[in-house]
Structure 1
């Protein structure tokens, strides 16, 4: 199989160019996240956990869910949780629904750190904002389909996007949400929906 990193192949195949472009973007996110983590004397995954706790509902703030969200083992997430507890950035309390589990939440200090760190993607947002609406819609559509394909392949395990939701359907008129009972424009497609109900992958 020819690698997309083979320049002789890459320069003549648009698929390879797109794959390499996505790899470059992933590298940019790694650099930005690493820089943010160094500023706060935290690891990249600890920064990601704080941001997740800031914006996600309490029922998702458990070690088991965090492990799925970030495609990591429970022990790895537990180590990060322990470190964040020691730094006074999070609380944990028993889960009333499961005595063997616990719920994690931010302290005041953790909330301030999470709010500040959640802006680490600004350097990526700026060039995105310079695109016109049609370019953004085409890009969003393509990226959602790629992410959906990776989810179906089991590479990305947790998704709360329209394409993986039982409420979503595609019709002659386009995208449609059965829960909201309304058509969806491209810009209304969600990457992260609180009402998401996952379709079972057979």
Structure 2
């Protein structure tokens, strides 16, 4: 007998299967919303994601190699998307003074306008989330962070900049604590994408 969360008999009797299928439905919603946004702007979904990434991430992370890791894609695939965005005049590249083969990417004025317009493509998902109580949100966040951490440990998700995978993070009987900020963290202050993240070695 095949063990699958999509088997209705299994799904209807196991909460683990229901959660997995619910997450699959949510991932489908993200795909649909991203695809709709890309069609509106005559760009591919990954090109939209690259523009949004360049809008919010620090300059040192805006390189082909980082984009490949971030989106779990090969460098040639990312390079093709970057080449198209350069041709469309949505991004620029600046050579590294220390390594002529390397360069950072940045948005042009028109690229920034496009990225700002596309950055809230998830609003349809945010709306029902905002209607949850604070307790429901904290429980959901706790569960999702633990799932993400497990996927990261298994090597399925390669880039994670959340507190649980950071060398500055500590947990004790008193709760969550950031050594870098030198302060305790309420659960709502736990970060998923921290610019000061230092991966545990």
What TM-score bracket applies, with the shorter chain setting the length? over 0.9
Other-structure match for 2:123:
122
Task: Could you tell me which runs of 5 or more consecutive residues in structure 1 were left unpaired when the two chains were aligned.
Answer: none
RMSD: 0.7
Give 2:143's aligned residue.
142
Report the counterpart of residue 166 of structure 1 in structure 2.
167
The Cα shift of 1:39 comes to: 0.3
Structure 1 counterpart of 2:189: 188
TM-score (norm: length of structure 2)? 0.98
Alpha-carbon distance between aligned partners in 1 of 2:98 and 2:116, rounded to the nearest angstrom:
29
Partner of 2:25: 24
Q: Deviations over 1:142-185 (max 9, x none)?
A: 00000000000000000110011000111111111111111111
Where 1:79 maps in the other structure, the secondary structure is helix
Deviates more, 1:169-178 or 1:91-100: 91-100
3-state secondary structure, aligned to 1:195:
coil
- The CA deviation at 1:96 is 2.4
- Runs ≥4 in structure 1, deviation > 4 angstroms? none
What is the deviation of 1:120?
Answer: 0.1
**Match of residue 11 from structure 1:** 12
Q: Structure 2 stretches of 5 or more lacking a match?
A: none
Distance of 2:131 and 2:98 partners within structure 1 = 46
Aligned position for 2:51? 50
Q: Report whether the alignment pairs 1:75 with 2:76.
A: yes
The structural deviation recorded for 1:99 is 2.1
Cα distance in 2, alignment partners of residues 41 and 145 from structure 1 = 36
In the alignment, the residues of structure 2 paired with residue 97 and residue 31 of structure 1 have an alpha-carbon distance, to the nearest angstrom, of 41
Give me the whole-angstrom Cα distance separating, in 2, the residues matched to 1:99 and 1:136. 47
Deviates more, 1:176-185 or 1:81-90: 176-185
CA distance in 2, matches of 1:62, 1:86: 17
| Per-residue deviation, residues 48-101 of structure 1 (Å, max 9, x unmatched) | 000000000000000000000000000000000000000000000101242211
Which shifted more, 11-20 or 174-183? Answer: 174-183
In 2, distance between residues paired with 1:96 and 1:104? 14
Query: Equivalents in 1 of 2:98, 2:147: separation in Å?
Result: 36
Q: Distance in 1 between matches of 2:68 and 2:128?
A: 31
Shift of 1:197: 0.5
- Helix, strand or coil for the counterpart of 1:72? coil
